[in-house]
A and B are shown apart, each in its own frame.
Chain A
Amino acid sequence: MDRGQNHIHGQSAANLCYQFGSDNPLLGMGIQQPFVPFTSPFGASSSTNIPHMDWNPATMLDNLTFIEDKIRQVKDVIRTMVDNGGQLPCRQGDLTQQQQVVNADLTCLIVQLISTAGSLLPSLKNSSFLSHPPAGHMDTVNHVGSSSSFIPNVTTISEENKEDMCSPEDYEELFKGFTDGAMEGGIEIDNVFVEEQDAKDGDEGGDASMDGENLPPGSYELLQLEKDEILAPHTHFCSICGKGFKRDANLRMHMRGHGDEYKSPAALAKPPRDASAEHELVKRYSCPFVGCKRNKLHKNFQPLKTILCVKNHYKRSHCEKSYTCSRCHTKKFSVMADLKTHEKHCGRDKWLCSCGTSFSRKDKLFAHVALFQGHTPALPADEPKNSSDQISRVGSHQEPAKFPSSMSSSFMWGTSSSDDRGLDIKGLAGCSEDILSTGNFGSFNFSFGPADGFTGEPSGSTFSVLPPEHFQSAQKKGKN
Chain B
Amino acid sequence: MPNLEHPAYPAADLLHLESLVPCRESQVSTLLSIFGERQQFSFPSIFIYGHTSSGKTYVMQSLLTTLQLPHVFVNCVEYFTSRLLLEEILIQLQSCSSGAEPSSPVHCDTLNDFVRLFKQAVASQELQDQTLYIVLDRAEQLREMEANILPAFLRLQELTDRNVTVVLLSEIVWELFRPSVGCFEPFTMYFPDYSIGKLIFSSAFQGLYNTLSEDVQKFIPGLSAALNFAKYCEPVVRGEANERDTRKLWKNIEPHLKKAMQTVYLREISSSQWERLQHDGGEPGQLKGLSAHTHVELPYYSKFLLIAAYLASYNPVRTDKRFFLKHHGKIRKTNFMKKHEKTSNHLLGPKPFPLDRLLAILYSIVDNRVAPTANIFSQITSLVTLQLLSMVGQNDQLDGPRYKCTVSLDFIRAIAR
Do chains A and B interact in one complex?
no
Q: Which residues of B contact A (CB under 8 A)?
A: none
